[in-house]
Amino acid sequence: MKISIITPVYNAEKTLEQTIWSVINQKINSDIEYIIIDGGSQDKTLEIISQYSHHINLLISEKDKGIYDAMNKGINLATGDVIGIINSDDWYNESALSVVEKVFLNHPEVSIVYSPVKNYVNGQYISTFQPGALENLAMKFTIGHPSCFVKKKIYEQVGLFDLTYTMAADYNFISQAYISGVKFYYVDTPLASFSLNGKSGQLLNRLKLLQETWQIASSITGEASEQIKIKRRFFYLNWLLREIATLPIKYFDPLIALKVKGFLRQRIGKLSSDQYGAW
């Protein structure tokens, strides 16, 4: 078995080295193919990559149409049986690929592996995202994409990332895979760490993410009962109102929602929203 790892990158001189280290220091029996897709960086990103050229199987550096376009390029070029995608400000945790290797070897029927994801801000651990129920993918993205490892044949069956979406193409892909009957496998060991300093963690991108997520969820539940459609409308209206209501607070403290939810879980246990993923 071969595992291909793809890192899309653009002007990430401050974070890329940690990402690279997290990949090349993984110890497994299977082959590892490492592909970096650079969007034409103008900082020292390419200099950093060159320092690790002997660990990188393929580097493409050219302008692209965004992060999902870079991911698609990497997927098309990958020769591994399994593909993992880790962004240039995120990283794999120790022994992550060893866990993934064992799952795929011991469970050949599995096509997608996923796990919790550790969240960091400015290098400081904040929380651990716990995935929600897969059946709730009809409402929103319930798992963390950095933790996902997907057999390449699933991309061939389901399709690549839809470039119509700039923030939620990963949700669209995973939901389509789930609908098609792909076998998922959950491991409780966090495979990856996610930087909330990245694009999706920025406040101004939250409304764009909400819009795209609504569009994807609507397409999934297009033939659903009226009761489910009403539930979805209420869910997204509630989400939108929360975003608007907390906007002034988040300006001063973008992590306020994580802190409040963490406090509530300590006091009362799981929240009703945790079924969609607990940040």
Q: What is the pLDDT of residues 33-75, one digit of tens each?
A: 999 999 999 999 999 999 999 999 999 999 999 999 999 999 9
Q: Which of 40, 36, 37, 63 is nearest to 52 (CA)?
A: 36
- Look at residue 178 and tell me whether its pLDDT is greater than 80: yes
Calculate helix-pair angle for 206-220, 169-179, nearest 10 degrees. 20
What predicted TM-score, i.e. pTM, was given to this entire model?
Answer: 0.91
- Distance between CA atoms of residues 220 and 166, nearest Å: 18
pLDDT per position as a tens digit, 117-156: 999 988 899 899 999 999 999 899 999 999 999 999 999 9
Residue 101: DSSP 8-state = H
Say if CB 59 and CB 20 are below 8 A apart: no
What are the two backbone dihedrals, phi and then psi, of residue 18, each rounded to the nearest 5 degrees?
-65, -40
What is the average per-residue pLDDT within 10-35?
Answer: 97
CB atoms within 10 A of CB 196: 18
Question: Sheet harboring 124-129: ordered strands across?
Answer: 91-92, 192-195, 117-121, 124-129
Residue 185 parent element (H or E): strand 184-186
CATH, residue 136: 3.90.550.10
How many Cα atoms sit within 13 Å of 92 on the Cβ side? 24
Matching residue, tokens 């996902």? 148
Query: What are residue 2's phi and psi, to 5 degrees?
Result: -125, 135
- Provide φ and ψ at 230, rounded to 5°: -65, -45
Domain that holds residue 206: 2-276
Strand, helix or coil for residue 232: helix
164: amino acid identity, one letter: T
Q: Could you report the per-residue pLDDT of 198-239, keeping only the tens digit for each?
A: 554 455 677 889 999 999 998 886 656 677 778 888 888 887
Average confidence (pLDDT) over 107-117: 98
Amino acid at 256: I
Judged by DSSP in three states, 182 sits in coil
Number of domains forming the structure of the chain: 1
**pLDDT one-digit tens code per residue, 234-277:** 888 887 887 777 766 665 666 766 767 676 677 787 777 778 77
**What is the token pair recorded at 15?**
């974070």
Terminal-to-terminal C-alpha distance of the chain: 33
DSSP codes joined into one string, 110-169: --EEE--EEEEETTEEEEEEB---GGGGGTS--S-GGG-EEEHHHHHHH-S--TT-SS-H
Average model confidence (pLDDT) for the chain? 90
**Which tokens is 3 given?**
């595992």
